Amino acid sequence: MSTTSAPPRDPIAIIGAGCRLPGASGPSAFWDVLAGERDTVGEIPPGRFPRVDRIGTRVGGFLEDIDSFDASFFSISPYEAMRIDPQHRLLIEVTWEAIEDAGIPLRKLAGSRTAVYTSCLWSDYWDRLRRAGMYDVHAAVGGGNWGNLSGRISYLFDLRGPSMSVEATCSTSLVAVHLACREMWAGQTDMAIVGGVNLLLAPDIYLGLADAGVLSPEGRCRFGDADADGYVRSEAVVALLLKPLSRALADGDRVYASIIGTAVNSNGRGAGTMIAAGAGGQEAMLREAYRDAGVRPGQIDYIEAHGPGTPSGDLTELTALARVMGEGREPGQRCLVGSAKSNIGHGEGAAGLVGLLKAALALQHRTIPATLNVHRPHPLFEQPGTPLELVRRTREWPERPWPAMAGVSSFGLSATNAHVVLAEAPARPAARRRRSGAFLMPLSARDERALPDLALRYADILQQSTASPYDICFSAGDRRTHHGHRVAVVGTNGRGIAAALRCYAAGGAPQSVVTGTAKDGVTPKVVYVFPGQGAQWPGMARGLLNDNPVFARRLRECDSAIHDELGWSLIDLLREGRAPTGTDEIQPAVWAIQVALASLWSAWGIRPDLMIGHSMGEIAAATASGALTVRQGAAVVCRRSRLLTRLGESGQMWAVQVGEAHAREAIGENADRVCVAVINSAHSCVLAGDADALGEVVGRLRRDGVFCKQVQVAYASHAPQVEPLRSDLIEALAELRPRPGAVPMHSTMLDKLIDGSELDAGYWMENLRRPVRFASAVRAALPDEGPVLFIEISPHPLLASAIEDEIAAAGAAGTVIPSLRRDEPELECMLRSLAVAYVQGCDPDWSRVYPGGRFTPLPGYPWQRRRFWVDPQDSAPPAIATTALPAVAEGDVTAAPAAPTESDAVATLPALPAPEAAAADPDRHGTADAPLADRSPAAAEITKYVVMRSARILGMSPEELDLDSPITVHGLDSVLAAKLSAQIKADLGVHVRVGELLRPRPLSDLTGELCKAASLRAVAR
């Protein structure tokens, strides 16, 4: 690629695209239209606007379902959605589609210096709102103000770069691309979203254009035809995500094409009139664009022309191109020219982005689509020596010794000219071949009803895509935003996962599918639980040792430390498939695998908030927390287990299914020889001590019908029988110097939280001697609110039943998952548990679950749209229903619910009696701690009031409100919050501050506050 004096700079990559175009919903569908040489222009839809004879044409390029919008996805209330221009609504959805297409999850986009530039020329919907009397602030912001479109997108996705709406008539959206590139080249922004939208909702502009004679009577754009007679108006929505190429490649993004130069200028007075095209201005703009790109015009293979098909416009554009594009061109190699307007019509303010998207797709596919509707090429193409050739049939991209390049032009009635120079994306390295194994596919949606559709879309891509299941699952995890309603599937191949997804979508419940709901902003508290010995089995974790580098690296570290202490290799033992025997093999082996499993869970992003160790499991917990180094942990477990071998068969241990009090009662007169060694749960203990005495105790329990099982150990741990080891053990660990760990531990020996600095030699003797208070540790880990996820870190689960007993007794929200299970495929088992963690709200680090994963395009989100529309005949504000609006209940909003007034009928609300007020004592922030389920009928009335009033303010059905979610999730903003506050004051005489309504807390909190306030008012009376 030859260059001029332009300084080297990073090209701007197009990494994401979304579009709604006539006959095409999405970039791939648009390419099908182009490559299939299809014309998607059609009749004006019935009812779009009244028939007006002066239009002169009844055709255009139109979109379907422009009255529909998935407002709940964006937490926009139905009340506000009704008042937002459908052009804004469509561009919001298409912008999300572009973000998804780029594979950038919202958590990485939010807060970034991402700019937003939008183009939206007309606002016909505003007239509908005014005629319907709907001219409040939401209508002014959403329907009567073009500048708020970019601001809304920046707000919804928390983007911190420049945000502006641009207007330069039909060249607007390409001018916006120019501005976006300049900002990135100047280092002022990191990324940019450029969007354009054009809907045809009223005949007014049609009339003006018809009077000017620029609309085609035949209803076809015939760019490049000698008999071209005007253009066809078209609806279009396009959004592109732009990013510096070097960063895009480093981040593994898919690149459609890259922008290497841009130019924008004006004709000034050079064309004689403002609205006439000017060859001089266009020629100057083209030269500037190629100087900016650092390439010769002769190196450009294809020009996507503005090409509206007007006689004067085509002549001017082709004349300017002919003057410039021959410079530096090799003999016999013409510059190909075409226009997408021949396929879909003229998208006006969005037309520049349509042309840019077409050129980028053509570069990606190395194919130049045909320009349609040409019967007799323009004479300029026949002139001797012309460097231009009209593309009348779809053809492969010409082979050149330099990268393929294209130019895109856009002009406007404002005399503003814009041109963008594109180059093909660098070749992606071939995908690595990966061994088959187990895969976890995560899916999520904002609306549970979207999940079956999403499952079917993913099933299709798993079966149809050439990408590997590894890369598809990686992309679904790492390159998608994860919403509250979740599905996860584990399988060993793409075909099996696809079959499970189809079964789920059909209403089935295959074992490989896990479902759950994660509340916004609520992540489970994660507790690692390390059991004692007893989970070992031959060849345990051998699969992970072979397949998972994180696990293998940590296990090798533990193996080295064990070898230095005891002189044998755990890894050799595992590879041989031999079961560890004897305490001095079993305990070090279990410890090492526990430590390695904890490392793997942490690497996968499921990091602990707390650790609990059970008996010798505390050694692994201390090592995993960082209180002990691997060498120190190995010293404790190896030296102590070696000393334990001296005890021989000095006692027994029995697990009994009774609580602590019942166990002590059963021990009775044998208390000097038998003790309660472990309290696992309210219904489970372990007894330890003299074998004969234990036999008597267990015999009595069995006669009473109690389940009893002997623990397979040769000595009585957590009992007096281990006292002979005290001095030797403390001496063996005298040099131990623990430190505070990175994660707190709940000591099951001390029954309290510790930081790890207490774990000296004396502690490890008491850990062996004193009882294990595991049940108490589990109870302490269960908070008053919020879910808890217990992960059992062991080769096989031992404590799940005990933990579940304590969860049930506490009435808490808790789940227990294993790491491995005896003789089950290890990676599959881990991934099944990871699936449970995911659907409950954990956010795995998918780049570590699938290291080296390659981004592959995925299906888009299945919108759950409802109709929000003001019909043209609406001439007055619609009446308010006294209850839920019927239209809302049916799924559509066709009339605008106004804010409730003090005259609305509200049932008389009974005050709570004074004693109940104490149960609703608010904290210093004003929130109430009052469980609704325990309240009186009066509280139920207040709950009903809150739901009805909130729903009416938001314009939605009461059944749609979720008391466990913040009301802001349903679209309450500061304006609607002020209305709700005023209405509550009028109805109940209680002042609730607007800021309190907008806090991220459950709506049920408001009910609790109103209950308390009503109680206090009753007392005052």
d(CA 173, CA 166): 8
Q: How many residues does the chain have?
A: 1021
| Contact between 81 and 139 (Cβ < 8 Å) | no
CA torsion through residues 927, 933, 934, 935, sign:
positive
Distances (CA, A) of 307 to 168, 348, 937: 17, 12, 70
Residue 7 confidence (pLDDT) above 60: no
Query: What does the alpha-carbon distance between residue 996 and residue 981 come to, in Å, rounded to a whole number?
Result: 10
Residues 72, 76, 79, CA angle at the centre, nearest 5°?
110
For 557-683, strand residue ranges (E) read: 610-613, 652-656, 674-681
Q: Are 317 and 306 in contact (CB under 8 A)?
A: yes
Q: Which residues contact 44 (CB under 8 A, 6 or more apart)?
A: 58, 59, 60, 62, 200
pLDDT tens sequence across 83-141? 999 999 999 999 999 999 999 999 999 999 999 999 998 888 888 888 888 888 888 88
| Pairing of β 388-390 and β 367-368 | unpaired
Q: Which residues pair with 876 in a beta bridge?
A: none
The pLDDT tens digits for 946-978 are 889 999 999 999 988 888 888 999 999 999 999
Which residues, in sequence order, are CB contacts of 825 under 8 Å at separation 6+? 438, 543
b/e map 620-650, b = 16+ CB within 10 Å: bbbbbbebbbbebbbbbbbbbbbbbeebeeb
Among 377, 362, 478, 473, CA closest to 423? 362
One-letter amino acid at 761 equals A
With a cut of 60, say whether residue 763 has pLDDT above it. yes
- d(CA 941, CA 369) in angstroms, rounded, equals 65
The answer for residues whose C-beta is within 8 angstroms of residue 756's C-beta and 6 or more apart is: 622, 625, 626, 627, 628, 738, 739, 740, 741, 745
Please tell me the distance from the alpha carbon of residue 656 to that of residue 1009, in angstroms, as a whole number: 47
| Cα–Cα dist 620/483, whole Å | 34
pLDDT tens digits along 387-428:
999 999 999 999 999 999 999 999 988 889 999 999 999 988
Q: Give the pLDDT confidence score for residue 804 in this predicted structure.
A: 96
Model confidence pLDDT, tens digit, residues 195-228: 999 999 888 887 778 777 788 988 899 999 999 9
Predicted local confidence at residue 874, as pLDDT: 44
Residue 722 CB neighbour total at 10 angstroms: 22
Residue 906 has pLDDT above 50, yes or no: no
Considering only residues 1011 and 150, tell me which one the structure prediction assigns the higher pLDDT.
Answer: 150
Contacts of 482 (CB under 8 A, 6+ apart): 105, 442, 444, 518, 838, 843
Judge whether 776 and 745 are in contact, CB under 8 Å: no
Closest CA to 214 of 202, 228, 225, 224: 228
Taking residues 15-28, what's their average pLDDT? Answer: 97
Predicted confidence (pLDDT) at residue 457 exceeds the cutoff of 70: yes
Please state the φ and ψ torsions of residue 448, each to the nearest 5 degrees.
-60, -30
SS3 call for 754? strand
| pLDDT of 813 higher than 60 | yes
Do the beta carbons of residue 203 and residue 55 sit within 8 Å? yes
Q: How far apart are CA 545 and CA 574, in angstroms?
A: 9
Taking alpha carbons only, the member of 528, 527, 530 closest to residue 767 is: 530
Residue 606 confidence (pLDDT): 98
**What is the C-alpha end-to-end distance of the chain, expressed in Å?**
87
The token duo for 158 is: 């928390």
If you search the block for the tokens 């000393």, which residue do you land on? 643
Q: Which pLDDT value is given to residue 48?
A: 81
The number of C-alpha atoms within 13 Å of 529 and in the hemisphere containing its C-beta is 28
158: helix, strand or coil? coil
Sequence-distant (≥ 6) Cβ neighbours of residue 979 within 8 angstroms? 899, 900, 953
pLDDT of 1018: 56
pLDDT band for position 169 (cuts 50, 70, 90): confident
Whether 501 shows a pLDDT value over 90: the answer reads: yes
pLDDT of residue 916: 34
pLDDT at residue 643, as a whole number: 95
Could you report the per-residue pLDDT of 872-891, keeping only the tens digit for each? 654 444 333 333 333 333 35
b (16+ CB within 10 A) / e for 589-607: bbbbbbbbbbbbbbbbbbe
Higher pLDDT, 47 or 578: 578
